[in-house]
Amino acid sequence: MLFKNFSLKTYNSFGVEASAKLFTAVKTTKHLKRMVRNNYFTDNKFFILGSGTNTLFTEDFDGLVVKNSLRSTFEIRNTDTELQIIASSGFKFDELIRRLIKYQNKTNEFYFGLENLAKIPGDVGAAVVQNIGAYGVEQKDFFVSCEVVNLETGEVETFQNADCNFGYRTSIFKQNDKKYFVTRVIYSYNKSVNHLPCLYYPALRDEFEDMKGRVTPQIIYNTVSGIRDSKLPNISKFGNAGSFFKNPIITKKKFDALKLKYSDIVSYDCDDKIKISAAWLIEKCGFKGKRFGSVGVYDRHSLILINFGKATGQDIVDFAECIVWEVKQRFGITIEPEVVYVQA
């Protein structure tokens, strides 16, 4: 069914007022292919919407919004060589993790990794597009392949891990966001690999330092969930998209210069470069807990921008640009939004 002048207020986690000229929810691949045949994607400007947890509508959208509601498939296959998870792209990513852990608890067969991504909001498809990550793990580490519908041809195509150009919060699907619609995803634990718990990030390391006994994916999931709940505002009370900015990556030379001036700078090794904590940069600029009108920075985590109720999408963008400018002036580093801006 196609809706006209459809309100998107409850379809974005910032809760900003915006509407779509046209709106539809896709529940089957057949429906999606029919839309391609009927030229919906060539005759209209369009935007593919997942859970709306990483999306900021800056104004009304003068085109077609397509909501991903594909949820027909979820399966766990356990063979001699691998534990495989297959899911439709409209499943919540956290639901995938919880179902996986429930299965592992039942079989008493444990493999570690995906539980570090606990409580990241959003769908499985968006997780692939964005290449989500947290606490030393990215979804690409366990990604095998995905099926997509090519929105130009209507054909179903398969992309293996190596085809996806995964990078820091990006993929081929983000780089070609008007061409592909991810419909089904496969993750896998190779049983020939020793999947050890990934606990080296400071927040996790501190939590597990004094823990005795066996660590399980369930315990790590619960711990990560607790950390996130302590840092993140309740979306039902304060509109937000979680982390608003990506952590910038700089050269070792630039980092060494900053380290001389700021001994407490928070950083992480990133191949031959250094990843700097955007939260630390923003806090050093004095934005943590600051509010300007209906927009502000959360007082528990400076990566999180909040809509206190009446902010427009443009209000939030303007505030974010003020933060970007201040960080650039003080540190010579440009931070980029992780949130996707959707404009008319």
Q: How confident is the model at residue 213 (pLDDT cuts 50, 70, 90)?
A: low
CB 222, CB 298: distance < 8 Å: no
CB 125, CB 132: distance < 8 Å: no
Coil, helix or strand at residue 155: coil
Q: Which of 89, 169, 171, 228 is flagged as catalytic?
A: 169
What percentage of the chain carries pLDDT values higher than 70?
A: 99
CATH architecture of 74-231: 2-Layer Sandwich (3.30)
Other residues' Cβ atoms within 10 Å of the Cβ of residue 230: 10
pLDDT in tens, 255-281: 999 999 999 999 988 889 999 999 999
CATH architecture of 3-68: 2-Layer Sandwich (3.30)
Q: Give the Cα separation of 96 and 79 in Å (integer).
A: 19
Q: Give the Cα separation of 244 and 14 in Å (integer).
A: 11
pLDDT in tens, 286-315: 999 999 999 999 999 999 999 998 999 999
**pLDDT at res. 231:** 87
Q: Which of 115, 138, 147, 338 is flagged as catalytic?
A: 338
**Is the pLDDT at 212 greater than 70, yes or no?**
no
> Would you state the structure tokens that stand for residue 200, as one six-digit string?
């080296």
**In this structure, is the dihedral angle defined by the CA atoms of residues 242, 87, 85 and 146, taken in order, positive or negative?**
negative
Angle CA(199)–CA(143)–CA(133) in degrees, nearest 5? 40
Residue 139 DSSP symbol: G
pTM: 0.93
Q: Give the Cα separation of 126 and 116 in Å (integer).
A: 17
**pLDDT at res. 344:** 80
Q: Which of 13, 51, 243, 302 is flagged as catalytic?
A: 243
Per-domain residue ranges of the chain: 3-68, 74-231, 249-342
**Is the pLDDT at 10 greater than 90, yes or no?**
yes
pLDDT in tens, 56-66: 999 999 999 99
CB 149, CB 32: distance < 8 Å: yes
Q: Give the Cα separation of 341 and 33 in Å (integer).
A: 27
Residue 64 DSSP symbol: E
Amino acid at 65: V
Coil, helix or strand at residue 193: coil
Tell me whether strands 3-7 and 19-26 are parallel, antiparallel or unpaired.
antiparallel
Question: Active site includes 145?
Answer: no
The domains spanning 74-231 and 249-342 adopt the same CATH topology: no
Q: Give the Cα separation of 289 and 102 in Å (integer).
A: 38
Question: Active site includes 115?
Answer: no
Q: How confident is the model at residue 12 (pLDDT cuts 50, 70, 90)?
A: very high
CATH topology assigned to domain 249-342: 3.90.78
What percentage of the chain carries pLDDT values higher than 90?
A: 89
Question: Active site includes 51?
Answer: no
Tell me whether strands 340-342 and 55-57 are parallel, antiparallel or unpaired.
parallel
